[in-house]
Structure 1
Amino acid sequence: MAAGDALGAGYEFDSPMPANQPVAMIGGGLGDFAPGEWTDDTSMAIVIARALANSEGQLDTGASDYMVRQWAVWAKDAPDVGTQTRAVLRAAEQTARVDKRDAPNTADAVAAATAIHRQTGRSGGNGSLMRTAPIALAYLDRTPDDTYQAAVKISKLTHFDDEAAEACALWTLAVRHALLTAELNIRVGLPLLDPERALVWERRIQQAEEKRPRDFSHNGWVVEAFQGAWSSIMVSKAADGGSAERLVASVEAAVRGGVDTDTVAAIAGSLVGAACGLRAIPAQWLEILHGWPGMNAQNLVELSLELVD
């Protein structure tokens, strides 16, 4: 996830690129990131991972309060925060100040997300899907339904939209399945949806498999971010040479798709990486991978292992 995020950071909101154009961790982008530096996608995911590690995998009020508090702290100085996420966190902080509390909590965030959706009629951005992968690590020994519900609840902290919640649940279950079996199966969570919604998502998945990442240019929307990420993995399935080539080809395809490149590549990287494993990440990427809050690739490995301990 972090590798895809950092790879796409320097190309964010660029137009789609030719299939043969080189892609590298060049840095730059909206946050003027250093080469190998991850963006808000990974930073928000790290908070989820730490919260669930601290709570021994229990998504209780303490864990979700921790997420909201830490995201609020991070967002104050972060160079690149999603518009919807920033609005929710600011509104939650305002509620806490009115109530004379030091920091916002779960109830503040959910209320803010609900209010913003009612005001604008829109809350289906990709900001909760990009950060959802750590839930799969924490829920490896739990049921698929438990995993689904956890992904929904964490999505709802900032994104009221049910489609965002569904996308997070389906992707998290696919990551969990990939970790347990090394198989890439984005449909594994469909039986947990209402049958009508499962049909909607089946059609969307089929579209992703029939088209190219560049065809999902509205990838700031959670549905097209989901489709663009899955399309990136599908167009790379014939990559020669094994898992390393498959992972690299997938995240590079996501970046070449254009627009929200860091987010789509982070989403794709989280799933294909779950199937391919740490060794599939190029050593030169791991050497320079870093970001908020002062972590590097080895720190991410340690945090991941802590989640599944």
Structure 2
Amino acid sequence: MTLNADRYQGCLQGLAAGDALGTTAEFKAPGTFEPLTDIVGGGVFALQPGQWTDDTSMALCLAESLLTVQAFDPVDQLQRYVKWYREGDLSSTGECFDIGNATRAALHQFEAGGEGFSGSEDPHSAGNGSIMRLAPVVMYYAENPAEAIRYAALSSRTTHGAAECLDACRLLAAYILAGLHGWSKQDMLAPEAYREWLNEDSLTPHMLNIKYGSYRIKEPPDIQGSGYVVESLEAALWAFHKSSSFAEGALLAVNLGNDADTTGAVYGQIAGAYYGLGGIPAEWQSKLAMRELISDYAGRLFTERVK
């Protein structure tokens, strides 16, 4: 099937919707909060309904870089991340109020040395800060899946250089690509999928385990909405596999608690690409902060994608 504008809108607005939905439960252990049923704001950052966090801010920085430079430029991406971090650019509140440790360390490293790939390669820094923002790279290069997957991994290295993070970006890119190209859910989640795009032999054992369906045979508490990239991607796929609508899966994802905004954002990229904008509840769409900008960037990523 061919790429279409509705799935592009769904992918980027789905990321923001999952982020905005999940921020209410961020840093809360599962079972310690009333399960979410809607985008209501609040949470530890006392946000208005529809305001989102660092996941969406960084995705918009990445989209803006690709659209402005019309190429993949890690230094330009990092300059935009720094502008968000230092000045609150592309924040839903006008300031940077939420940033992961690995991302902050990488931005400090970049400010000191100017290196385009500033992410730590330490396995203990394998957080979910690069999968949470990934969609724009995949959308921009979606005509060539192998290139999209290659650039997905490179986009991680600006802030997250651990092997687990690079492979999580590769694998997530494959799921997003399949959604954007109109695959069925069964085909998207088939263990044998993506062999023409991904070199399975190079994937870390954890990522290969996820690709082969670890999320199918687990339930919470073995499914964790944590900040560890392996658990984060697994949780998003668990929610996608278990549900039959964007909203149902998004609520499963964020009600895992802990790093709920990012579990929601990762789920939202996959499910938004699959269901399209028409599958995201209209009342959620209408609440999104800076929705016009998000929609504009999604539309431009569709029309200006590399062909």
Report the TM range for the smaller structure's normalisation. Answer: 0.7 to 0.9
- CA separation of 1:22 and 1:84: change in aligned 2, threshold 3 A: closer
Alignment of 1:78-89 (within 5 A): 78-89=96-107
Amino acid across the alignment from 2:128: N
Pick from 109, 123, 144 the counterpart of residue 125 of structure 2.
123
Q: Say if 1:47 and 1:67, in contact at 8 Å, map to a contact too.
A: yes
Q: Say if 1:130 and 1:263, in contact at 8 Å, map to a contact too.
A: yes
Which structure's relative contact order is higher, taking Cα pairs within 8 Å and 6+ residues apart? 2
SS at match of 1:37: coil
Shift of residue 30, structure 1, vs aligned partner: 3.5
SS at match of 1:147: helix
Query: 1-10 vs 18-27, which deviates more?
Result: 18-27
Shift of residue 288, structure 1, vs aligned partner: 1.6
Cα distance in 1, alignment partners of residues 17 and 216 from structure 2: 23
Cα distance in 1, alignment partners of residues 134 and 228 from structure 2: 15
Aligned to 2:179: 178
Cα distance in 1, alignment partners of residues 140 and 269 from structure 2: 14
Aligned to 1:93: 111
Pick from 290, 297, 301 the counterpart of residue 303 of structure 1.
297
Amino acid across the alignment from 2:215: A
Aligned to 2:47: 33
Alignment of 1:97-246 (within 5 A): 104=114, 108-110=115-117, 112-114=118-120, 117=121, 122-142=124-144, 144-184=145-185, 185-186=188-189, 188-190=193-195, 192-195=198-201, 197=203, 200-205=206-211, 206-212=213-219, 214-217=221-224, 219-237=226-244, 246=245
Give TM-score scaled by structure 2 length: 0.83
Amino acid across the alignment from 1:280: G
- CA separation of 1:196 and 1:160: change in aligned 2, threshold 3 A: closer
Aligned to 1:49: 63
Shift of residue 234, structure 1, vs aligned partner: 1.2
SS at match of 2:62: helix
Aligned to 2:92: none
Aligned to 1:287: 286
CA shift digits 1:166-186 (9 cap, x unpaired): 111111121111111143314
- CA separation of 1:200 and 1:225: change in aligned 2, threshold 3 A: closer
Cα distance in 2, alignment partners of residues 213 and 37 from structure 1: 28
Cα distance in 2, alignment partners of residues 37 and 273 from structure 1: 18
Amino acid across the alignment from 1:158: T
Q: Say if 1:214 and 1:256, in contact at 8 Å, map to a contact too.
A: no
Give TM-score scaled by structure 1 length: 0.82
Aligned to 2:256: 257
- CA separation of 1:22 and 1:260: change in aligned 2, threshold 3 A: closer
RMSD of Structure 2 on Structure 1 (CA): 2.2
Greater CA radius of gyration, 1 or 2?
1
- CA separation of 1:270 and 1:53: change in aligned 2, threshold 3 A: same
Cα distance in 2, alignment partners of residues 38 and 218 from structure 1: 17
Amino acid across the alignment from 1:189: Y
Cα distance in 1, alignment partners of residues 32 and 279 from structure 2: 24
Q: Say if 2:26 and 2:260, in contact at 8 Å, map to a contact too.
A: yes
- CA separation of 1:72 and 1:227: change in aligned 2, threshold 3 A: same
Amino acid across the alignment from 1:277: G
CA shift digits 1:11-48 (9 cap, x unpaired): 10212249993422221233332211011001101111
Aligned to 2:81: 71
SS at match of 2:203: helix
Cα distance in 2, alignment partners of residues 190 and 78 from structure 1: 39
Cα distance in 1, alignment partners of residues 29 and 37 from structure 2: 13
Write 1 or 2 for the structure with the bigger share of helix. Answer: 1
